[in-house]
C-alpha cells in the first residue's frame, strides 16, 4: 500500500475554468483500507468540485468521527476542514454556516455518526434547512471499532463473525424526505458515473442536500449475507434516473427521447437534467418520492438516483432573515450600539 | 407586644400564587421605593411551575444600602391561603400581617405577637369589577395602594411609574391608578398607623435596577456576539430572550434584515456545537445554560480547549445535582465548569458579582475567548440572573474595539508569514488561526480533536502531544494576566485573618463584614473575579494565617480549586458554606464566621466596642 503521494503529474492534465487540475482538489493520502468505498466517494467529490470550477478554499468540509469522517483530510487540501465530535457535525456545520453564508459547506458523515449517535442532530439539521451538502458514507457497520452493526444495517443482515442483525434499519433517505430536505439522493460508491453528477447537483443546490451513499466496507461488511456488500448492492441497485448538471442550455442530445427527461433549473442557474430510468417518478413530488421509496424497498430493491428536489428551496438564513453580509465580517460599527444607546437603557432602568 | 419600628430598614414579603399577575404589582411596589431614593434589594422565590403554585417576592428596604438578602420578614402580605401558616410563622415578633379580610378567619389562624391588618380586597374588587381577570389583577394593585398608605410611599412615584409602564395605553394606566387609589384610600380610612415607615432619601443616586441575565445579554450585544444557540433551561432562559430583544432593537437593518442569528437548538449539545462551529468560522458566538446543560456540553468543551476554538458559555447556576432545585440558587458549577470535559483540561471562569459586572464580563468574555482561543465560562447564578439588583449603571467606552485575537489574514499569508496553527510564535502559548476561506492556497488547515503537530498535521507521537499540552499550560498562564483581577478590601486594622468570596455572595459579604467588625472580628477580604487565579490570590492567602472561603455550595468548590491550583495547605482555608437554595444572607455569614472565629480565637478577650 502506498504511503506517499507522488508529486509528479502529467503536464497535460486537463484544467477547469479556473485553470486548476484535479490534483489541485486532492488532499492527503488516504489511510483507509485498500478498496474502501469511501475512497471512491472522496474521488467523486474531487471530480465534482473540479468540474464545477469551485475554488477549493471556498469550500468548508466538516465531519464527525469514524472512518467516513476521516475522509475530508483526503480531498480538497486547500479547504479548511473540521473533524469534530462523534455525531455532532450537523451542529458544528450549522454554526459555521451561520457565521459565513458565502462559503460552500460539505458535511461528510457515516451511518454510525448520523443514524446512531447523531440521529438527533441529523434530523434537526434537515428540519432547519441548512444550506449544505450532507453525504453519509453508508456501510452498515462500525469500521474503526471493527465490525459492530450500525443503525442502517438491514434486519437479517449477517455480520462477518456470523451474528444476525435483528433490529429494524433506519433509512436516512426516508427520514430526510420526511424532515424537509430539499435535495435527496441515494447512490453507490461503486457507481462514479451516477455519484459525481449527484454531488454536483447537491453542491449547487441552495438548501439542504442529502446524499445517502452506500459504500461497502471491505474489511468488515463485504461478505456473503451482508446487504451492504459490493455484490449485493450491484444486484439490487435500481436507479430511478440518471442526472446531468449543466450551466448552459445544452441541447438535449438525440440519445434522450423526449418525455423521458425531467429538467429542473436551480436558483444558481444550474440545470439539472434527469433521464428517467424507471416508471413514472416525478422527482419534484415529495410525497411521491416517499411512496416510491417504500414500494421499492418492500420489493427488496435499493433505489438510487435523485429522488426528490425542490428547485426553490429556502435555507436557514432565509428563515432567520439574516443580512447578506456574512456575520463574521460585521465590524464594531455594525454590532456595538455604543454609549449613547446604553445611556438610554440606563435611564429606562431607574 | 412590642411592635416593630423602623425607618427605611425592613423586609416586606409578598406571598402570592404564581400566574395571578402579582409580579407587576410587586415590581411597582419595589420601584416606587427606589424612586423615593431608598435602596432596595428584591428577590423572587418561585417554583418550577407556571400556574397555581406558591411564589414569593421579598423586598428588603435598606437605607444603608445593603443589597444582600437579610433573612427574616417584618411585614408579610399574605395573598396565598396555601402558604398562610408558613408565611405567618416566618414573621418576626412584632411584625405586621397584611391580608385579604373578605372572608373572616378564626383567631387561631393568627399570632398574638403580630399586628394584623385586614383589607377586604376581594370584596372591593368584586364590587367594582365584573370581569374575573380584572378582579384578580386589580386586587394586586389595590394592595400596593394599601401598602402605600401604611408605609408612606409617595403616590406621585407610583402614578409616574404607571404612566411610564402604560405609555400609549392611557385606559389601562387610568384603571390601574384607580385601583391603586381605592386600596390607598381604604387603608387611610380604616387602618392604624404602623411602626414601619419610608422616608424620602437620596441614597440611590444614578444606579439602575436590572436583572443579571438581561445585563449579560446586553454585554453579549456590546461584545459583538452575532450567533446565539441555546436550549431553554431555568434560570438561563431570560438571557437568550433578552439577547433577542436587544438585538431586535439594535441590530435590525432598515430593510428588516438581522445582523445576528439566534437558534433555539434541539439540546445543549447542539447549542455548544453551533457556537463552536460559528466561532471556528470567525463569528462571535455564545450559549446560555445552567448546570445540567454544562454536564451535556462536556465533550464539546474539551474539543474547544484542545482544538483551540473560542466559545462563550453563560452558566446561570442553580441547585443541582441532576435537576436538583431548578428554581433555587447555588454556586455549584465551579468545578464542573473549571475542569469540564475528559482529558487534561481547564477553563477560564468569570465570576460577576452583580448585573453591572454581568454586562462588563459579558462583553469582555468575547475578547477573552478570541484572544485565548478557548471556552470562557461566565458563571452567574439564579440570584443574580433572575432578580433585579440595584447596581452601578452600565458604561461603555466608544473608543473600544473588539479584540479578535491572533487571526492571520490573507495579506499576512501573501507576505509569506509562516503559519503554523499550533505554533507558539510569541511565547505566550497562543498560536495564530485563520478563518476558513481566507486564501486560495495558504493558511488552510484541518481542525481535529485528535493530536497533531505545530502545523496541524496528524500525529500520535508522544513528544508532539506533550509539546502541545505544555503550550496549552503556557496559554493558561497568559490568561492570568488577562482576566479580571481580584479586589481586596482591607480591614480597619491589621489582622491575621482573611476571607475570600465571589459572585452573588458579595452583597451579603460586604454587609457581614460591617457586622463582624462590630463583633470584634476583623477580616481582610478578597473578592475573586476569575479563574485562573492571578498571583494576588496566593499572595493574599500567604499573608494571612487563616482564610475563610464563603461559598454557596456544599463541597467548597472554589476552595478546592484554590488548594489544587495554588498549592495551598487546605487547613488554612476554612469553608463557610450555604447551600439550601436560598440566597446567602449577611446574618448567616456573620454567625458562621463568628462561630469559627471564636474557636480560632479571633475575637479579642475584651471587646473593642465600648
Q: Pick from B482, B501, B533: which residue ends a domain?
A: B482
The mean per-residue pLDDT over the stretch B533-538 comes to: 96
Helix (H) or strand (E) holding B244: helix B237-250
Residue A84 forms part of a structural domain: yes
- Is B606 inside any structural domain? no
Q: Is the predicted pLDDT of residue A280 greater than 90, yes or no?
A: no
- Between B11 and A276, the more confident residue is B11
> Would you call B283 and A98 a contact, using CB atoms and an 8 Å cutoff?
yes
Placement of cell 384603571 in the chain: B175
d(CA B243, CA B416): 41
List pLDDT tens digits, range A67-103: 999 999 999 999 999 999 999 999 999 999 999 999 9
Residue A117 has pLDDT above 80, yes or no: yes
Assess contact for A59 and A106: CB atoms under 8 A: yes
Checking if the pLDDT of B557 tops 70, the result is yes
- Of B467, B482, B497, which marks where a domain is finished? B482
In A, which residues are within 8 Å of B278 by CB distance? 95-96, 98-99, 327-328
Could you give the 3-state DSSP secondary structure of residue B76? strand
Residue B609 in domain: no
From residue A4, alpha-carbon distances to A30, A31, A35, B65 in Å are 10, 11, 17, 73
Element (H, E) at B527: strand B524-527
B122 and B222 assigned to the same domain: no
Question: How confident is the model over B343-355, as pLDDT tens digits?
Answer: 999 999 999 999 9
Instruction: Determine the distance in angstroms separating the CA of A343 from the nearest CA of chain B, rounded to an integer.
Output: 8
pLDDT band at A192 (very low <50, low <70, confident <90, very high): very high
Q: How far apart are CA B140 and CA B24, in angstroms?
A: 9
Cell digits for B411?
495579506
The dihedral sign for the CA sequence B296, B299, B300, B304? positive
Q: What is the per-residue DSSP string for B137-197?
A: HHHHHHHHHHHHHHHT--HHHHHHHHHHHTTT-HHHHHHHHHHHHHHHHHHHHHPPP-SEE
Residue closest to B212 by CA, chosen among B357, B19, B22: B357
C-alpha A152: how far from chain center: 16
Beta carbons within 10 angstroms of residue B93's beta carbon: 12
C-alpha cell belonging to residue A158: 449477517
Assess whether B557 and B477 both reside in one domain: no
Q: How do residues A20-45 score in pLDDT, each as one tens digit?
A: 999 999 999 999 999 999 999 999 99
The ipTM assigned to this model is 0.96
Q: How far is B99 from chain A (nearest CA, A)?
A: 30
Are B235 and B347 in the same domain? yes
User: Residue A109 to residues A65, B16, B201, B395, B565: CA-CA distances in angstroms?
Assistant: 8, 53, 66, 47, 40
Residues in CB range of B183: below 8 A, 6 or more apart: B119, B121, B124, B141, B142, B143, B144, B145, B146, B148, B149
Q: Could you tell me how far CA B399 lies from the centroid of its own chain?
A: 28
C-alpha distances in angstroms, A39 versus A23, A34, A235, B544?
Answer: 15, 9, 22, 65
- Which one of B446, B461, B482 terminates a domain? B482
Quick check: is A335 in a domain?
no
Asked if residue A340 belongs to a domain, the reply is no
Compute the C-alpha angle B256/B261/B266, nearest 5°.
130
Indicate whether A312 belongs to any domain: yes
Supply the CATH number for residue A97's domain.
3.40.50.970
- From B53, B579, B42, select the one nearest B329 (Cα to Cα): B579
pLDDT at A290 (0 to 100)? 95
Residues in chain B: 610
Average pLDDT, chain B: 96
Cell 455548544, located at residue: B272
Question: Residue B65: its pLDDT value, please?
Answer: 96
Under 8 Å between Cβ of A81 and A108:
no
Q: Which of B304, B446, B452 to mutate to test the interface with A (most CBs of A within 10 A)?
A: B446
Question: Is the CB of B270 less than 8 angstroms away from the CB of A128?
Answer: no
Task: Nearest by CB to A91, from B221, B270, B282: name it.
Answer: B270
B327 and B420 inside one domain: no
In a domain, A345, yes or no: no
Interface touch B398/A338, C-beta < 8 Å: yes
- Are B158 and B126 in a shared domain? yes
**Cα(A47)–Cα(A121) distance, integer angstroms:** 29
In a domain, A76, yes or no: yes
B401 lies in some domain = no
DSSP H or E stretch at residue B558? helix B557-566
Whether residue A282 is contained in a domain is answered as yes
B141 and B168 belong to one structural domain: yes
**How many inter-chain contacts (A to B, CB under 8 Å) are there?**
224
Min Cα separation A42/chain B (Å): 16
| Contact by Cβ (8 Å): B211, B277 | no
pLDDT above 80: residue B569: yes
> Average per-residue pLDDT in chain A?
92
B596 vs B332: CA distance, rounded Å = 23
Of B270, B300, B401, the CB nearest to A332: B401
Please answer whether residues B118 and B190 qualify as being in contact, where contact means their C-beta atoms are separated by less than 8 angstroms.
Answer: no
CA-based torsion, B66, B71, B72, B73: positive or negative: positive
Chain B residues with CB under 8 Å of A324 CB are: 257
List all residues 6 or more positions away from B170 whose beta carbon is below 8 Å from its beta carbon: none
Q: Distance (Å) from the C-alpha of residue B571 to the closest C-alpha of chain A?
A: 41
Q: B448: domain range?
A: 410-482
Q: Looking at the structure, do residues B462 and B505 belong to the same domain, yes or no?
A: no
Q: Are both B27 and B127 inside the same structural domain?
A: yes
Using CA atoms, how far apart are residues B110 and B101, in angstroms rounded to an integer?
A: 12
Do residues A133 and A203 lie in contact, with contact meaning Cβ atoms separated by under 8 Å? yes
Q: Which of chain B's residues have a Cβ under 8 Å away from the Cβ of A99?
A: 226-227, 277-283, 285
> Can you tell me the mean pLDDT for B226-254?
98
User: With an 8 Å Cβ cutoff, is A77 touching chain B?
Assistant: yes
Closest CA to A147 of A136, A161, A166: A161
Q: CB distance from A164 to chain B under 8 Å?
A: no
- Whole-number pLDDT of residue B600: 79
Q: Check CB contact of A64 with chain B, cutoff 8 Å.
A: no
**Chain A, window 107-146: residues with a beta carbon less than 8 angstroms from a chain B beta carbon:** 120-121, 123-124, 128
A260 pLDDT higher than 90: no
Backbone dihedral region for residue B224 (phi beyond 0: left; psi -120 to 50: alpha; all else: beta): left
A103 close contact with B: CB closer than 8 A: yes
Three-state DSSP at B209 gives: strand
Number of folded domains in chain A? Answer: 1
Asked whether residue B311 is domain-assigned, the answer is yes
| CA gyration radius, chain B | 27
Residue A2 within any structural domain of the chain:
no
| pLDDT on residue B610 | 45
Instruction: Tell me the CATH number at B530.
Output: 3.40.50.920
The whole-angstrom separation of Cα B298 and Cα B303 is 9
Give the torsion sign (CA, A313, A319, A321, A326): negative
B273:A85 CB<8 A: yes
| pLDDT at res. A249 | 55
pLDDT of residue A255: 55
Contact A349 B208 (CB under 8 A): yes
Count CB-CB contacts under 10 A for residue B315.
Answer: 26
Residue A29 phi/psi, 5° resolution? -75, 140
| SS3 state of residue B608 | coil
pLDDT on residue A256: 54
**Residue B399 lies inside a defined structural domain of this protein:** no
The verdict on a CB contact (< 8 Å) between A92 and B280 is yes
Within-domain flag for B422: yes
pLDDT above 60 for A252: no
Overall average pLDDT of the B533-545 stretch: 97
Regarding whether B372 and B238 lie in a shared domain, the answer is yes
Q: What percent of chain B has pLDDT over 70?
A: 98
Residue B335 backbone phi and psi in degrees, to 5: -75, -40
Transcribe B386-426 into DSSP letters: HSEEEEPPP---TT------SB--HHHHHTT----TT--SS
CB-CB under 8 Å, B449 with A84: yes
Provide the grid cell at A98: 451561520
Residues B449, B550 within the same domain: no
Asked if B230 and B277 sit in the same domain, the reply is yes
- How many Å apart are CA B578 and CA B7, to the nearest integer? 30
- pLDDT digit string, tens, across residues B323-374: 999 999 999 999 999 999 999 999 999 999 999 999 999 999 999 999 999 9
CA–CA distance, A332 with A311 (Å, rounded to integer): 37
3-class state of residue B284 by DSSP: coil
Place of cell 504511503: A3
Which among A98, A161, A60, A5 is positioned nearest to A317, based on CA atoms?
Answer: A98
Contact of B256 with chain A, judged by CB distance below 8 Å, is answered with yes
Q: Which three cell numbers stand for residue B326?
A: 431548578
Q: Give the domain extent around A234.
A: 22-329
With respect to residue B538, please indicate whether it lies within any of the assigned structural domains.
Answer: yes
Mean pLDDT, residues B172-184 taken together: 95
Instruction: For helices A119-128 and B268-280, give the axis angle rounded to 10 degrees.
Output: 70
Number of structural domains found in chain B: 4
SS3 B466: helix
Average of per-residue pLDDT across B215-239: 98
CB-CB neighbours of A80 under 10 Å: 25
CB neighbour class for A96 (10 Å; exposed up to 12, middle 13-18, buried from 19) = buried
Tell which B residues from 415 to 434 touch A, by Cβ distance under 8 Å: 434
Cβ–Cβ under 8 Å, residues B527 and B517: no
Rounded distance, CA B25 to CA B447, Å? 54
Q: Please list, in sequence order, all residues whose beta carbon lies within 8 angstroms of the beta carbon of residue B384, skipping any fewer than 6 positions away.
A: B211, B212, B352, B353, B354, B355, B358, B503, B504
CA quadruple B266, B269, B271, B275: dihedral positive or negative? negative
Whose CA is closest to A123, among A163, A165, A76, A174? Answer: A174
The grid cell for B390 is 440595584
Residues B353 and B501 in one domain: no
Amino acid at each position: 500500500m502506498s504511503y506517499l503521494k507522488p508529486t509528479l503529474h502529467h503536464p497535460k492534465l486537463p484544467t477547469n475554468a479556473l485553470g486548476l487540475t484535479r490534483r489541485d482538489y486532492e488532499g492527503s493520502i488516504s489511510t483507509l483500507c485498500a478498496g474502501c468505498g469511501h475512497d471512491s466517494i472522496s474521488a467523486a467529490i474531487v471530480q465534482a468540485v473540479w468540474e464545477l470550477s469551485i475554488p477549493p478554499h471556498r469550500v468548508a468540509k466538516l465531519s464527525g468521527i469514524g472512518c467516513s469522517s476521516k475522509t475530508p483530510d483526503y480531498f480538497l487540501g486547500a479547504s479548511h476542514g473540521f473533524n469534530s465530535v462523534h455525531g455532532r457535525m450537523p451542529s458544528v456545520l450549522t454554526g459555521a454556516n451561520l457565521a459565513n453564508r458565502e462559503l460552500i459547506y460539505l458535511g461528510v458523515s457515516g451511518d454510525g455518526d448520523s443514524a446512531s449517535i447523531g440521529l438527533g442532530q441529523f434530523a434537526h439539521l434537515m428540519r432547519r434547512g441548512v444550506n449544505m451538502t450532507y453525504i453519509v458514507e453508508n456501510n452498515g457497520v462500525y469500521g474503526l471499532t471493527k465490525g459492530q452493526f450500525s443503525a442502517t444495517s438491514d434486519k437479517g443482515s449477517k455480520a462477518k463473525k456470523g451474528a444476525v442483525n435483528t433490529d429494524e434499519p433506519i433509512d436516512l433517505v426516508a427520514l430526510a424526505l420526511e424532515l424537509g430536505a430539499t435535495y435527496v439522493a441515494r447512490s453507490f460508491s461503486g457507481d462514479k458515473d451516477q455519484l459525481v453528477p449527484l454531488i454536483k447537483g447537491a453542491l449547487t443546490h441552495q438548501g439542504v442536500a442529502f446524499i445517502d451513499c452506500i459504500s461497502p466496507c471491505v474489511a468488515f461488511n463485504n461478505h456473503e449475507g451482508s446487504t451492504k456488500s459490493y455484490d449485493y448492492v450491484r444486484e439490487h441497485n435500481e436507479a430511478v434516473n440518471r442526472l446531468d448538471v449543466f450551466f448552459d442550455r445544452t441541447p438535449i442530445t438525440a440519445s434522450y427521447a423526449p418525455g423521458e427527461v425531467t429538467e429542473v433549473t436551480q436558483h444558481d442557474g444550474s440545470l439539472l437534467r434527469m433521464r428517467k430510468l424507471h416508471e413514472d417518478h416525478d422527482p419534484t413530488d415529495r410525497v411521491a418520492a416517499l411512496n416510491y421509496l417504500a414500494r421499492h424497498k418492500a420489493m427488496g430493491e435499493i433505489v438510487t438516483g435523485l429522488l426528490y428536489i425542490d428547485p426553490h428551496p429556502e435555507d436557514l438564513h432565509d428563515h432567520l432573515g439574516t443580512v447578506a453580509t456574512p456575520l463574521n465580517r460585521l465590524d464594531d460599527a455594525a454590532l456595538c450600539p455604543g454609549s449613547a444607546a446604553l445611556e438610554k437603557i440606563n435611564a429606562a432602568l431607574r | 407586644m412590642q411592635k416593630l419600628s423602623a425607618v427605611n430598614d425592613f423586609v416586606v414579603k409578598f406571598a402570592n400564587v404564581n400566574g395571578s399577575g402579582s409580579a407587576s404589582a410587586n415590581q411597582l411596589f419595589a420601584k416606587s421605593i427606589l424612586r423615593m431614593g431608598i435602596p432596595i434589594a428584591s428577590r423572587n422565590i418561585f417554583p418550577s411551575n407556571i400556574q397555581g403554585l406558591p411564589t414569593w417576592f421579598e423586598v428588603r428596604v435598606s437605607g444603608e444600602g445593603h443589597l444582600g438578602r437579610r433573612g427574616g420578614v417584618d411585614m408579610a402580605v399574605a395573598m396565598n391561603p396555601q402558604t398562610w401558616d408558613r408565611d405567618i410563622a416566618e414573621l418576626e415578633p412584632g411584625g405586621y400581617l397584611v391580608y385579604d379580610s373578605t372572608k373572616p378567619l378564626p383567631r387561631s389562624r393568627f399570632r398574638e405577637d403580630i399586628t394584623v391588618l385586614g383589607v377586604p380586597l376581594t370584596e372591593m374588587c368584586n364590587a367594582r369589577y365584573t370581569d374575573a381577570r380584572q378582579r384578580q389583577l386589580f386586587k394586586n394593585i389595590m394592595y400596593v395602594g394599601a401598602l402605600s398608605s401604611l408605609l408612606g410611599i409617595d403616590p406621585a412615584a407610583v402614578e409616574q411609574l404607571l404612566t411610564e409602564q402604560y405609555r400609549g395605553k392611557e385606559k389601562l394606566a387610568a384603571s390601574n391608578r384607580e385601583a391603586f387609589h381605592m386600596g390607598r384610600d381604604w387603608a387611610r380610612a380604616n387602618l392604624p398607623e404602623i411602626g414601619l415607615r419610608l422616608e424620602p432619601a437620596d441614597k440611590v443616586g444614578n444606579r439602575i435596577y436590572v436583572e443579571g441575565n438581561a445585563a449579560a445579554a446586553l454585554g453579549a450585544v456590546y461584545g459583538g456576539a452575532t450567533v446565539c444557540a441555546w436550549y431553554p433551561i431555568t434560570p438561563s432562559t431570560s438571557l437568550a430572550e433578552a439577547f433577542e430583544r436587544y438585538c431586535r432593537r439594535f441590530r435590525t437593518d432598515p430593510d428588516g434584515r438581522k445582523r445576528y442569528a439566534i437558534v433555539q437548538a434541539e439540546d445543549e449539545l447542539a447549542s455548544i456545537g453551533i457556537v463552536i462551529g460559528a466561532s471556528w468560522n470567525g463569528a462571535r458566538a455564545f450559549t446560555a445554560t445552567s448546570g445540567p446543560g454544562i454536564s451535556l456540553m462536556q465533550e464539546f468543551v474539551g474539543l474547544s480547549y484542545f482544538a483551540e476554538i473560542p466559545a462563550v458559555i453563560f452558566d446561570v447556576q442553580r441547585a443541582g445535582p441532576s435537576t436538583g432545585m431548578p428554581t433555587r440558587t447555588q454556586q455549584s458549577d465551579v468545578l464542573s465548569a473549571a475542569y469540564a470535559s475528559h482529558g487534561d483540561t481547564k477553563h477560564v471562569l468569570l465570576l460577576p458579582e452583580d448585573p453591572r459586572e454581568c454586562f462588563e464580563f459579558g462583553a469582555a468574555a468575547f475578547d477573552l475567548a478570541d484572544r485565548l482561543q478557548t471556552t470562557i465560562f461566565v458563571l452567574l447564578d439564579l440570584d443574580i440572573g433572575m432578580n433585579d439588583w440595584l447596581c452601578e449603571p452600565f458604561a461603555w467606552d466608544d473608543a473600544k474595539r473588539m479584540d479578535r485575537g491572533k487571526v492571520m489574514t490573507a495579506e499576512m499569508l501573501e507576505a509569506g508569514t509562516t503559519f503554523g496553527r499550533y505554533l507558539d510564535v510569541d511565547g505566550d502559548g497562543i498560536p495564530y488561526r485563520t478563518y476558513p476561506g481566507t486564501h486560495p492556497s495558504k493558511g488552510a488547515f484541518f481542525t481535529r480533536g485528535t493530536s497533531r503537530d505545530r502545523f496541524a498535521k496528524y500525529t500520535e507521537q508522544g513528544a508532539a502531544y506533550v509539546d502541545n499540552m505544555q503550550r496549552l499550560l503556557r496559554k493558561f498562564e497568559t490568561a492570568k494576566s488577562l482576566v479580571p483581577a481580584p479586589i481586596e478590601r482591607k480591614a480597619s486594622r491589621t489582622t491575621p485573618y482573611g476571607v475570600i468570596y465571589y459572585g452573588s455572595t458579595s452583597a451579603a459579604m460586604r454587609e457581614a463584614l460591617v457586622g463582624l467588625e462590630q463583633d470584634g472580628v476583623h477580616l481582610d477580604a478578597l473578592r475573586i473575579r476569575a479563574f485562573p487565579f492571578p498571583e494576588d490570590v496566593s499572595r493574599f492567602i500567604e499573608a494571612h494565617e487563616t482564610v475563610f472561603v464563603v461559598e454557596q455550595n456544599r463541597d467548597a468548590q472554589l476552595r478546592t480549586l484554590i488548594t489544587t491550583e495554588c498549592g495551598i495547605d487546605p487547613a488554612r482555608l476554612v469553608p463557610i458554606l450555604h447551600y439550601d437554595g436560598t440566597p446567602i444572607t449577611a446574618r448567616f455569614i456573620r454567625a458562621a464566621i463568628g462561630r469559627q472565629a471564636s474557636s480560632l480565637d479571633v475575637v479579642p478577650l475584651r471587646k473593642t466596642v465600648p
